[in-house]
Amino acid sequence: MNVVPDTSVVVDGRVSDKVEDGEFADAVVYVPEAVVSELEAQANSGREIGWRGLEELQRLADLADEGRIEVNYVGRRPNDDEIRRASAGEIDAIIRDVAGEYDATFVTSDIVQSEVAKAKGLDVQYLEPHDDEVGDLEIEHYFDEGTMSVHLKAGVRPMAKRGSVGEVRYEAIGDEELDDEVLREYVGEIRNAADASDEGFTELSEPGMTIVQFRNYRIAIAEPPFSDGLEITAVRPMVKTDIEDYNHADELKERLLDQQRGVLVAGAPGAGKSTLGQAVAEFLSGSGYSVKTMEKPRDLQVGDEITQYTELDGQMEKTADALLMVRPDYTIYDEVRKTRDFRTFADMRLAGVGMVGVVHATRAIDALQRLVGRVELGMIPQVVDTVAYVKAGDIETVYDVSTEVKVPHGLMEEDLARPVIVVSDFDTGKPAFEIYTFNRQVVTVPLGDEDEEGDTGVNRIAKQEIEREVRSVARGHVQVELQGSNRAVVYVEDDDISYVIGKGGGRIDQIEDRLGISIDVRTLDERPDHLKQGGGSGGSGRSAGGNEQAGEPVTPEITGRHIIVPLDGYAGETVEVRAGGEYLFTATVSRSGEVQVSRGSAIAEEMEQAIDRKKPITVVRS
């Protein structure tokens, strides 16, 4: 009798069992090299199933030495491409080919492998897999009722986050430092539990990082070279809430049931965003809606009636395509972080699916601003109409998001009417923010927000834009003072007066038309005393010798059409660019982390002169 075992029966020790009971007596066992390759890979990654399989191969060798069977290692080892595609059945196909080549009985505990082999015309013996009972993991003993997460690292005392949602403490939970050998035992146990139990699975397996979901624990295992040492982080949900437990529950339920909505659940890490997402999912499911989730990793604690999806072939976009075929009423997207996530969220929402996205944000408005630049501005209210901000485990703020065609708050001219995203406080119904395009850039203006000098948000933005426009044609210092909602005075150097105004007033008329603001141009000597002392627009023409920080040095790149100022880490921020400590201009940094100045403009010429003169170019946050 010729026998070819696959990996599943070798791991379970079924071949030697069959020899011992006489069924495979005097058999010729052909062990595929592809099986050996899989067992080596599993053993090298610390998986007990790999070691169990290698022990079975040793038992078969001992039986061969006793003359009870013959063992031959045959076939070829899989190449790198086949290993990468192992989940698609590439290695299984190599093992089946060996059974066909040697006209052998193919023995497996894998039902899919069994059915495929039968379809290929092979003689198949299917053995029911062993049902190994998995008990508690050792790391579970570190948890008590108030523990949210446990953090174990070699050479460090065991640590844990404990407390209630919003009041979590990170503290030591043991006196002795952990050694690497103990952690390795924990890792082996965790991986084996994920492989052997129906209650667990491996969510992510990459060199240096493994994420396992076992029962209600999400366990991350980090190893060198990805991390500087072996570390295990196990997270467990502390509470499972009902939507009735939250502030604004009635209003939120009414909105969700009124029509399919686009909702962002925002908050800082540990605030309870995902817990609210779980409560919303179960409320909707209990209200007669078809609900799915999109998660990586899958750790929302929801009922069996809610199917949890993760990345399909490593891409949430493919998961979204699959879900559109399923047509859920609502999808909970946990978490929306990267540009691809926001665009996938928007695509599903615009396709008519109700969406609830979990987003990291330190303020409620920040969650909405993360859509700017990722979704066309006018489409934002169609993608997100509600923002719920979570703090310390409860809903602190709910915003309603809508679009109006109007003159933005604080501006007066009728020809300034434009589409405006109005963000209103759900409790009071009063607008809290407006988002719109002002002079070719998107601005978010807080309404009623005043600084120490009484400047409203729109005034500050208007000053910046006026200064930006005038600086594009002026060669010296510029200072701006607003004198009402639609009038400003701009102070420039004597030599710049005629240049800024232009022939017949043409140049300043163009600036006024673009901004919708009447501008009076005067010399810096005509400034009132409070501007000379540092008031007004915030100090165009300031130098490093004043009260300002020196700034961060940057090295501009000069191309054929632009001067590019690289500003990694400043994306979306407003900065001042200076040369030798002297103010040059104010700009908003692009999402790619740079500012571009068109060559030929007055600013570009001044910057090039400064670079030629070896003046240091620096930036400070405005």
Contact between residue 374 and residue 274 where contact means Cβ atoms under 8 Å apart: no
| Mean pLDDT, residues 335-360 taken together | 93
State the Rg of the chain over Cα: 33
Contact between residue 351 and residue 378 where contact means Cβ atoms under 8 Å apart: no
Give the whole-angstrom CA distance, residue 479 versus residue 580: 19
Give the whole-angstrom CA distance, residue 307 versus residue 294: 9
Quickly list DSSP for 506-536.
Answer: HHHHHHHHHHT-EEEEEEGGG--HHHHTT-T
- Does 457-532 match 552-621 in CATH topology? no
Domain boundaries, the chain: 2-126, 138-235, 243-446, 457-532, 552-621
| Mean pLDDT, residues 1-14 taken together | 89
pLDDT score for 550: 61
In which band, very low, low, confident or very high, does the pLDDT at 168 lie, cut at 50, 70 and 90?
Answer: confident
Give the whole-angstrom CA distance, residue 248 versus residue 523: 55
In which band, very low, low, confident or very high, does the pLDDT at 32 lie, cut at 50, 70 and 90?
Answer: very high
Q: Judge whether residue 570 has pLDDT over 80.
A: yes
Among 30-34, 239-243, 275-279, 332-336, the least confident range: 239-243
Distance of CA 246 to the CA centre of its chain: 26
Residue 39's nearest CA partner among 93, 95, 81 is 95
Burial group, residue 384, by CB count within 10 angstroms (0-12, 13-18, 19+)? buried
Q: Judge whether residue 459 has pLDDT over 90.
A: no
pLDDT score for 461: 66
Q: In the numeric block, which tokens belong to residue 536? A: 């007004």
| Mean pLDDT, residues 454-476 taken together | 72
pLDDT score for 188: 82
User: What superfamily would CATH give domain 2-126?
Assistant: 5'-nuclease (3.40.50.1010)
State whether CATH 1.10.1660 applies to domain 552-621.
no
Q: Judge whether residue 534 has pLDDT over 90.
A: no
User: What superfamily would CATH give domain 243-446?
Assistant: P-loop containing nucleotide triphosphate hydrolases (3.40.50.300)
pLDDT score for 410: 67
In which band, very low, low, confident or very high, does the pLDDT at 195 lie, cut at 50, 70 and 90?
Answer: confident
Who wins on pLDDT, 385 or 440?
A: 385
In which band, very low, low, confident or very high, does the pLDDT at 536 lie, cut at 50, 70 and 90?
Answer: very low
pLDDT score for 133: 64
Q: What is the pLDDT of residues 221-269, one digit of tens each?
A: 999 889 999 999 998 876 678 899 898 898 899 989 988 899 999 998 7
Average pLDDT, the chain: 85
The DSSP H or E segment spanning 270 is none
Greatest CA separation found in the chain? 109
| Mean pLDDT, residues 329-357 taken together | 94
Burial group, residue 104, by CB count within 10 angstroms (0-12, 13-18, 19+)? buried
Percentage of residues of the chain with pLDDT beyond 70: 91
pLDDT score for 234: 93
pLDDT score for 348: 95
pLDDT score for 384: 96
Q: Judge whether residue 413 has pLDDT over 70.
A: no
Contact between residue 265 and residue 358 where contact means Cβ atoms under 8 Å apart: yes
Residue 469's nearest CA partner among 483, 497, 442, 490 is 490
pLDDT score for 165: 61
In which band, very low, low, confident or very high, does the pLDDT at 127 lie, cut at 50, 70 and 90?
Answer: confident
In which band, very low, low, confident or very high, does the pLDDT at 537 lie, cut at 50, 70 and 90?
Answer: very low
Q: Judge whether residue 377 has pLDDT over 80.
A: yes
| Mean pLDDT, residues 265-283 taken together | 90
| Mean pLDDT, residues 104-126 taken together | 91
| Mean pLDDT, residues 458-486 taken together | 77
pLDDT score for 251: 87
Cβ atoms within 10 A of the Cβ of 97, count? Answer: 17
Give the whole-angstrom CA distance, residue 333 versus residue 277: 9
Q: Judge whether residue 547 has pLDDT over 70.
A: no
Q: In the numeric block, which tokens belong to residue 618? A: 């620096």
Fold of the 457-532 domain: GMP Synthetase; Chain A, domain 3 (3.30.300)
Give the whole-angstrom CA distance, residue 419 versus residue 61: 78
Q: Judge whether residue 301 has pLDDT over 90.
A: no
Residue 367's nearest CA partner among 415, 433, 464, 416 is 433
| Mean pLDDT, residues 490-496 taken together | 87
Tokens 């607003």, residue?
482
| Mean pLDDT, residues 28-40 taken together | 91
Contact between residue 302 and residue 324 where contact means Cβ atoms under 8 Å apart: no
pLDDT score for 540: 43
Q: Judge whether residue 455 has pLDDT over 80.
A: no
| Mean pLDDT, residues 459-480 taken together | 78
State whether CATH 3.30.450 applies to domain 138-235.
yes
Q: In the numeric block, which tokens belong to residue 581? A: 């400590």
pLDDT score for 542: 39
| Mean pLDDT, residues 173-178 taken together | 92
Separate counts of helices (H) and strands (E) for the chain = 19, 32
| Mean pLDDT, residues 455-468 taken together | 69
Among 23-27, 357-361, 452-456, 604-608, the least confident range: 452-456
